[in-house]
């Protein structure tokens, strides 16, 4: 963390998720990289250490659990936030046991994710200026 803000990697095979969340997170001071293909995301994770990784759990070929495991192995400091669907509480719990920071259930509002990221930022020791989102959400 050389400069202000957090490095965030977001992976979800639903294109719209990345398309909408990128500006939403950029606004609160994150540098966001978005991937639809979990394989490409993994490659990028090996290249660069992110502060926060947001990943969908259910994806084809490589799922969120595998990304979680690789991130935890590479950089224990990185906070991993899992996106789950309803009726996947068992999987979410398993993710928490494996060291995920938190999980968030689809469908969620942009602010829901922003709040989790804010908490992750605090945990990382570099709180975000979250005023903008806070006033909007109230």
Partner 1 sequence: MNPKESSSAPEAQEEQGALGDRYERIKAAEQARKALLARRHYSLRLQIYLGFFLVLLFAAGIATALVLTMYQVEDKLRFLEIVNDFMIEIQQARRFEKNYFLYGTNLSDALENVYKAREISNRNAEELNAILGKRSMSPIFPNLEQYESLLEELVALKREDQPGPRHARRKKEIEVALRKHGQKLVSVAQDLIAREKAALSKTILRSRNVHIYALFFLLIFMAANAYLLGSRILGNINRFMKYASRIAAGDFSPITPARSFRDEFTDLALAINQMLLELERREAVLIQSHKMRAVGTLTAGVAHELNNPLNNITLTAHMLLEDYETLTDEERKEMVEDVVKEADRSRDIISNLLDFARESGAQVETLDLKELLEDTIALASNQIKLSGIKIEFKATDHLPRIHGDSQQLRQVFLNLILNAIDASEKGGKIQVLALPADEPNYVAVKVIDFGKGIPEYVLGSIFDPFFTTKAKGKGTGLGLSVSQGIIAKHGGKIRVHSREGMGATFTVTLPVTTLPAEMPGNERTA
Query: Does 62 help bind partner 1 (rule: CB under 8 A)?
Result: no
CB of 105 to partner 1, least distance (A): 8
| Contact flag: residue 136 with partner 1 (CB under 8 A) | yes
What residues between 66 and 125 interact with partner 1 by CB under 8 A? Answer: 85-88, 106-111
CB of 76 to partner 1, least distance (A): 28
Segment near partner 1 (CB under 8 A); pick from 13-21, 29-37, 39-47, 118-126:
13-21
Distant-in-sequence contacts of 18-27, Cβ < 8 A, 24+ apart? 20/110, 21/54, 21/110, 21/113, 24/110, 24/113, 24/114, 25/113, 25/114, 25/117, 27/132, 27/133
Tokens of 5: 């803000």
Q: How far apart are CA 37 and CA 91, in angstroms?
A: 21
Binding site for partner 1 (CB under 8 A): 14, 16-17, 19-21, 23-24, 58, 63, 85-88, 106-111, 136
């Amino acid at each position: 963390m050389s400069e202000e803000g957090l490095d965030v990697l977001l992976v979800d095979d639903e294109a719209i998720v990345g398309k909408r969340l990128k500006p939403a997170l950029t606004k609160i001071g994150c540098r966001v990289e978005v991937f639809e293909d979990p394989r490409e995301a993994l490659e990028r994770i090996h290249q660069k250490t992110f502060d926060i990784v947001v990943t969908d759990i259910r994806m084809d070929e490589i799922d969120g659990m595998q990304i979680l495991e690789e991130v935890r192995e590479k950089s224990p400091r990185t906070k991993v936030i899992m996106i789950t669907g309803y009726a996947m509480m068992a999987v979410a719990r398993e993710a928490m046991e494996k060291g995920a920071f938190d999980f968030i259930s689809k469908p969620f509002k942009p602010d829901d994710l922003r709040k989790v990221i804010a908490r992750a930022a605090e945990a990382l020791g570099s709180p975000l200026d979250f005023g903008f989102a806070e006033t909007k959400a109230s």
